[in-house]
Structure 1
């Protein structure tokens, strides 16, 4: 009986394991090998050791990409998570929250190219809707996508709006898993709304917050579509991100080895941030409900 159950278990997870092997682990291993070669996408390749990695750390474009990506992450992660949490708390007890859940989730399933093109019109410095609205209240809006100071915040604005529905749905699921008895006991003790939120909602929601934080950080480091569609990395590479750098080296310069090296560095950076979060989770994540 146990053998039969184990067999069925392996059969059910088999497709997922095969997919993980074919589409994730093997490509990851091949990319690691390419990072030590000078392959240009055609013909044979030669082993060059660590020269591709050394070249990345001495390449000013790679340094620029790291700075831009970290700046983007600093904007997107805290603001996006805070807005999603506030929105989830606001909708948790509203009638017809299923409708609002679908409404706010719609941008998540919208094509990144479509969203980018729409925001190009909204953020246009000359005739964009946003600047027209700011002008009505006496504010002279900047050229969002052509000003080096505003281009990363503009892309971050798009990403926060785009991912708001996904994070909100995750937070709603976490809120619905908190027992009502905690709030009833706090009300009897005289706790107000803010005190209940601070001492009950936030602590019991930390596992959900931990998950959302990890996923948002990972997606922030992988930003590409928005910058590619809206600014093509400009102006003056002010929106040149790490994935954009990987793309440029692979499909513009055809230096696949250098591109793979940059991708491996990005992999290590994401892994490091994720491990740090897992290391710190014991200090702020509370699983007991």
Structure 2
């Protein structure tokens, strides 16, 4: 009798222990993910592919009423962009934003992170204070800095006047406008990297630092040969996100200088925005994909330069 009752129980146990059907799991997974997949295809992948196709056409705003009038022009938009003097100028401006902005922002963030890492008290207070500009509206920050850098009545020139220096018209000069925007952008954005670098400094092996200190290594030597190599992955991440941000530089110039004076602060993103506003959809789409290519190339070279060496 016991053998008879144990048989069905053993069979029920084996049925319950059977692993779930993989096919059923896959179907359930796709059902749960389908809302996101649909939204991604409709609002992200679809527009991206449509804009890529648009970059090979002569589409303008007037063609929205008669889409069949749009003609395929191949690479003409890209060729015209390369030959466009204004696009060359904004490309040079964007490179200046990148070359000046990335090192300044990273150096400022790393210096502040190292300083905060050495504090035993009030670290959280200073961390919040330095990060506060990041979460503040970029438009509000730009408006405030526009008044700070004013030729007459600006805080910077007023401070310089106290020591007998006649400050320039920071935002009205082709020489100082772009560097002024870079300084403002570095001040606003270094808080993000500061938090990231501060977290990275917590992972530096304390034993190695103490051993080097016992051996008589100076503070700079310890920082150069121990801290910086340990921060290499963090520096790579910071360089990538900061570089992408400066290649997409737009809001600061739009609010503070409108791209002037004489297009000296106009970026590729600003140029693309203008072309969409003018109704040159195909031309603007081509400019945006050249910018995308620049971001890909920049990221590739940064990974080659800063990646961890085995």
TM-score normalised over the length of structure 2: 0.85
- Matched residue, 2:294: 269
2:271 pairs with 216, 230, 245, which one?
245
Separation in 2, partners of 1:17, 1:100 = 41
Contact 1:206 1:286 in 2 (8 A): no
Larger CA deviation: 112-121 vs 2-11: 2-11
Matched, 1:280 2:305: yes
Larger CA deviation: 5-14 vs 58-67: 5-14
Superposition pairs of residues 139-150 of structure 1, within 5 angstroms: 139-150=165-176
- Structure 1 stretches of 4+ with a deviation exceeding 3 A read 1-24
Q: Kindly provide the CA deviation profile for residues 104-150 of structure 1, in whole angstroms up to 9, marking residues without a partner as x.
A: 11100111110110011000011100011011122221101110111
Using the TM superposition, give the Cα deviation of residue 15 of structure 1 relative to its aligned residue in structure 2, in angstroms. Answer: 6.7
Superposition pairs of residues 46-195 of structure 1, within 5 angstroms: 46-94=71-119, 95-195=121-221
Separation in 1, partners of 2:34, 2:109 = 36
Larger CA deviation: 193-202 vs 79-88: 193-202
Q: Kindly provide the CA deviation profile for residues 39-58 of structure 1, in whole angstroms up to 9, marking residues without a partner as x.
A: 22322122221111111111
Using the TM superposition, give the Cα deviation of residue 17 of structure 1 relative to its aligned residue in structure 2, in angstroms. Answer: 5.8
Contact 2:131 2:191 in 1 (8 A): yes
- Matched residue, 2:8: none
**Structure 2: where are the runs of 5+ without partners?**
1-18
Using the TM superposition, give the Cα deviation of residue 154 of structure 1 relative to its aligned residue in structure 2, in angstroms. Answer: 0.9
Contact 1:204 1:286 in 2 (8 A): no
Contact 2:151 2:167 in 1 (8 A): yes
The structure whose Rg is larger is 2
- Matched residue, 2:57: 37
**Structure 1: where are the runs of 5+ without partners?**
none
Separation in 1, partners of 2:176, 2:41 = 41
Larger CA deviation: 80-89 vs 27-36: 27-36
Q: Kindly provide the CA deviation profile for residues 148-197 of structure 1, in whole angstroms up to 9, marking residues without a partner as x.
A: 11110011011000101011001001111222222122222222322211
Larger CA deviation: 212-221 vs 39-48: 39-48
RMSD over equivalenced CA pairs, Å: 2.2
TM-score normalised over the length of structure 1: 0.91
SS in 2 for 1:274: helix
Contact 2:235 2:306 in 1 (8 A): no
Contact 1:35 1:257 in 2 (8 A): yes
Structure 1 pair 102/259, CA: closer, same or farther in 2 (3 Å)?
Answer: same
